Amino acid sequence: MLLRMNTADTDSQVIHFLRLPLVVLVLLIHSNFHGTSEAWNALWAAGSPSVGPAMPTLGTIIDIISGSLAQLANPFFFFIGGFLFFREGTFSKSLYLHKLRNRVSSLLIPYLIWNAIYLVALLAGERTMPGWTANIGKTMTDFTVADWLYAFWDITLIGGQGAMTAPVAIHFWFIRDLMLIALLSPVIYQLLRFLSSQRKEVPIILFMALLYATKWVEGLPGLSSQGILFFSFGAYFSISGLKFTDAMRPMRWGGLFFALFFWQFNSPNLMYAGLIVFVVSVVTRLIEHQQTTGNPRPLIPPFLANASFFIFAYHSLLVGGFRYLFETGAVNPQNGIEALGIYLLCPVILIVVGAITHSLIKKVAPGLARLLTGGR
């Protein structure tokens, strides 16, 4: 999703393939409409069976998908970001400065533009739609200069409300954290270079221990412990000169078992580490199968794959519209079947609208498209 790359080797092909599926997981995270209306809240109300154990409600299933499994997208993107940042395997001051300059156009400029777009959209919604809330804890017309600046970094600093420590375009917290981790990359490189010289058991045990410890460590705005660790996880392969697909391909079922084991022990980041191994193994085998059968068709249409970042960036604007319809009662599911249909259809609508919009902008204003997507 985040970087252009040569797709000649298997590592790059796996990353290229995963761009859109990982964005779909992000869409599923934000397609959970629990709390928007009584109709949606009813899906979480458990019945009392007369015989046997209680079955999970539809709401519980949605929580498992959106609130747990789909959250894999975040650590996976950090893993990819770390691997690509140190792709050369070496590091120097000039290379470091070159990478930072590249990330001004690929990360910082889209970050600033999209947060500005979301601010304008929220202000317009606040002024034109009754009952609209920007969920910031303060009316935007009452913003101070500091509040407008906080909106680009951490909205919890506005009005003292306790939402997620993220910019106004909430899903861009990942981009914010990735930029800050990039600034710390010289320190990460030195630590990982030292670990790569040790017996392989040392970094594995240390990584697992630190992932387990994240249960009690929240991190700071811009420096999430999850982001630093999974960025380092991906970076380790590049710095050590290892192909992550070669390492993970034989570990398909081991990765899945590892994930299930730590899911039982409520250790989400260890679960995500296992799922990354499982997914990489499955996708690697899928790509190899396609190559052996001589099928030249891409697994994901380029029209969709190339729009991945735009879909990621814009989607919360449309999701906000969906939430407004549910909150005002204009549209609501009448039963579980309708709710499930809306839940599954929402990401499809977001992908189709995003891909078409991205294509139109590229055709009409290619320069704007490059700014919005960081040149992707």
Residues 38 and 172 in one domain: no
Give CA–CA dist 25/248, Å, rounded.
21
Contact 267, 223 (CB under 8 A): no
Same domain, 139 and 223: yes
* Eight-class DSSP state of 314: H
188 and 310 share one domain: no
Q: Is residue 309 part of a domain?
A: yes
The span from the first CA to the last CA of the chain, in angstroms, equals: 8
In this structure, are 110 and 211 located in the same domain? yes
Q: Is the pLDDT of residue 7 over 80?
A: no
Q: What is the pLDDT of residue 219?
A: 66
pLDDT score at 46? 57
Task: Please tell me whether residues 92 and 67 are part of one structural domain.
Answer: no
How many domains would you assign to the chain? 2
pLDDT of 187 higher than 80: yes
236 shares its domain with 110: yes
The pLDDT, as a whole number, for residue 50 is 47
The per-residue pLDDT for range 205-217, each reduced to its tens digit, is 888 888 888 777 7
pLDDT at 161 over 70: no
Q: What is the pTM of this model?
A: 0.89
- Residues 230 and 151 placed together within one structural domain of the fold: yes
| Residue 114 lies in domain | 86-242
Task: Evaluate whether residue 252 is within a structural domain.
Answer: no
Structural domain contains residue 316 = yes
Q: Do residues 69 and 135 both lie within one domain? A: no
Question: What CA–CA distance (Å, rounded) separates 24 from 351?
Answer: 8
Which of 127-136, 288-297, 361-370 shows the lowest per-residue confidence on average (mean pLDDT)? 127-136
The mean pLDDT value for 311-338 works out to 87
The residue among 138 and 364 whose pLDDT is bigger is 364
Say yes or no: 98 and 147 in one domain: yes
Report yes or no: 212 and 268 within 8 Å, Cβ to Cβ. Answer: no
